[in-house]
């Protein structure tokens, strides 16, 4: 999303994502730390890939990067059509092994690291 990350806009976007994901059998998580948005989507490829395409084309999203597509055995976010958390530096402090020089740098993480981080973070926000 472009500048001015309005909380109400984010909440509205997440509500729409939850409704749409639920209809499509997609689950996932979205976090925002004040700088980075990171999202994990889980589901059948014929549901997730078109969804990601719409995210890429949405003018509210800029600098979208796909880190990894992989098949998983069990969903990590099975109970959430979209869990959403705005995380603080205090939240991140307990995930020190994922930080680079004390900073959250998802651009330097691989897909497996990101997925593990998101699963652990979501479990703490459940």
Helix H or strand E encompassing 30: strand 27-32
Q: Which CATH architecture has domain 7-125?
A: 2-Layer Sandwich (3.30)
- How far apart, in whole angstroms, are the C-alpha atoms of residue 36 and residue 48? 21
Q: pLDDT tens across 34-71, in order?
A: 889 999 999 999 999 999 999 999 888 888 988 999 98
Q: Where are the domains of the chain?
A: 7-125
- Whether the pLDDT of residue 10 is over 90: the answer is no
User: 3-state DSSP call for residue 85?
Assistant: strand
């Amino acid at each position: 999303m472009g500048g001015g990350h309005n909380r109400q806009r984010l909440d509205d976007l997440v509500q729409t994502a939850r409704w749409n994901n639920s209809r499509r059998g997609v689950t996932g998580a979205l976090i925002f730390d004040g700088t980075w948005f990171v999202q994990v989507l889980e589901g059948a490829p014929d549901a997730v890939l078109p969804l990601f395409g719409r995210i890429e084309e949405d003018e509210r999203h800029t600098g979208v990067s796909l880190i990894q597509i992989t098949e998983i055995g069990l969903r990590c976010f099975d109970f959430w059509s979209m869990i959403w958390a705005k995380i603080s530096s205090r939240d991140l402090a307990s995930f020190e092994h994922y930080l680079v020089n004390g900073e959250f740098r998802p651009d330097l993480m691989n897909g497996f690291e990101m997925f593990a981080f998101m699963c652990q973070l979501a479990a703490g926000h459940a």
